[in-house]
Amino acid sequence: MVSPTFPDKFIDGRAIADAVLAQLGSELSKLPAGAPRPTVAFVRVGEDPASIAYVGRKQRVAQELGFVSILKVFPESITEAELIAQIQLLGEDPAIHGILVQSPLPARIDPISVYSAVPPHKDVDGFHPVNLGKLIYGDPSGFIPCTPLGLQELLKRSQIETSGKHIVILGRGLIVGKPAALVFLQKQAWANATVTVCHSATTDLAKITASADILIAAIGSPLMVGPTMLKAGCVVIDVGINRVDDPTTASGYRLVGDVDCEQVLPIVSRITPVPGGVGPLTVAMLMRNSWKAYCTQTKFS
């Protein structure tokens, strides 16, 4: 997505992700002959088309880098106890260095219980309580959830300063909102921000978002953010991926973010497109976490 009127305002997430993956590929190429291959297990429950596509994309990237990719698919009818038992078996296998459980899970399964079944040192998604605790402490030995880590990488490689800036996050979910707030609160480079988290019960929302130097939208509401909610010159990072009906397309729908990109383009300084903005960085950070897990477990450096 490139605007002919504002071609320089878009942040190319795909290009940044490609640079990250190229660096990882270079590091994997240094593995000596005969060394165990870094191996990631992908766990999927059910046959949701979006989950199938997303896991498939992650597997393709992993295999292209040189990872061994293992796919475990369980039926929608699997119980929580059965799923946890299967994840524990994967965790006990020394040949598997990283485990990813694709969300969403069936509504009757508690995701926190499932995430907690992944051994912390193999939790490449970063959702285990131990890793979230390390994020609170600022302990770099843990794994940071992939999308927040990708947001930080995107801002860093785009040379968008965060220190002392007001970052407003729309959404308080475990996957993006909460961990992103923790990432940008850290007293370190490409963080050190003043962070406000907004959610469905926030009052005077437009007043708060209009004070943001950087707005991170991760609320799952298509095209919700318009120009009256932003101040001139702000940076907008749109994490939302929503399907809206569009009879002009072959699929009958199109993907849009939480931000009305066309409407806000004239007033923002930079913005991520949907698709092609944050999504590729999420996958790249998953690969980075998986490589970190391998190096930690095998003592490779």
The residues carrying an active-site annotation are 58, 102, 125
The residues that bridge with 196 in the sheet, in sequence order, are 168
Tallying the residues shown for the chain, one arrives at 301
Q: Say how far apart CA 146 and CA 116 lie, in whole Å.
A: 17
> What is d(CA 276, CA 144) in angstroms, rounded to the nearest whole number?
22
Query: Of 135, 117, 155, 113, nearest to 41 (Cα)?
Result: 117
Those residues whose C-beta lies under 8 Å from the C-beta of residue 240, and which sit 6 or more positions away, are 217, 218, 219, 220, 221, 222, 256, 257, 258, 259, 274
CB 291 within 8 A of CB 38: yes
Q: Quote the CA–CA distance of 214 and 156 in Å, as a whole number.
A: 13
CA 16 to chain centre: 14
The answer for residues whose C-beta is within 8 angstroms of residue 289's C-beta and 6 or more apart is: 98, 124, 125, 126, 143, 144, 146, 149
DSSP 123: B
Cβ(193)–Cβ(214) below 8 Å: yes
Contact indicator for 258, 223 with CB cutoff of 8 Å: yes
Using a 10 angstrom Cβ sphere, with 0-12 exposed, 13-18 middle and 19 or more buried, the burial of residue 141 is exposed
**In 29-110, which residue ranges form alpha helices assigned H by DSSP?**
49-65, 80-92
